Amino acid sequence: MKTVRHLLGACTAVALLMTPFVAHAEATADDATAMVKKGVSFIKANGKEKGHAEISSKTSQFKKDDLYLVVYGLDGMVHAHGANEKMIGKNLIELKDIDGKPFVKERVEMAKTKATFWQDYKFTNPETKKIEPKSMYCEKLDESVVCGGIYK
Is residue 21, in this structure, part of any structural domain at all?
Answer: no
- Output the furthest CA–CA distance in the chain (Å, rounded): 74
Torsion-angle region of 131 (φ positive above 0: left; ψ -120 to 50: alpha; else: beta): beta
pLDDT tens across 10-47, in order?
333 333 333 333 344 688 999 999 999 999 999 999 99
Tell me the percentage of the chain whose pLDDT exceeds 90.
Answer: 75
Is residue 58, in this structure, part of any structural domain at all?
Answer: yes
CA distance 24 to 121: 23
Is residue 34, in this structure, part of any structural domain at all?
Answer: yes
Residues of the domain holding 129: 26-151
Burial 1-35 (b: 16+ CB within 10 A, else e): eeeeeeeeeeeeeeeeeeeeeeeeeebeeebbbeb
CA distance 9 to 6: 5
Is residue 135, in this structure, part of any structural domain at all?
Answer: yes
Is residue 141, in this structure, part of any structural domain at all?
Answer: yes
Tell me what the pLDDT averaged over the chain comes to.
86
Strand-pair category, 78-81 with 116-124: unpaired
As for how many domains the chain has, the answer is 1
Is residue 1, in this structure, part of any structural domain at all?
Answer: no
* CATH label of the domain that carries residue 143: 3.30.450.20
Is residue 16, in this structure, part of any structural domain at all?
Answer: no
| Those residues with Cβ within 8 angstroms of residue 90's Cβ, 6 or more apart along the chain or in another chain | 77, 78
**Poorest-pLDDT segment among 5-9, 27-31, 69-73, 97-101:** 5-9
Is residue 71, in this structure, part of any structural domain at all?
Answer: yes
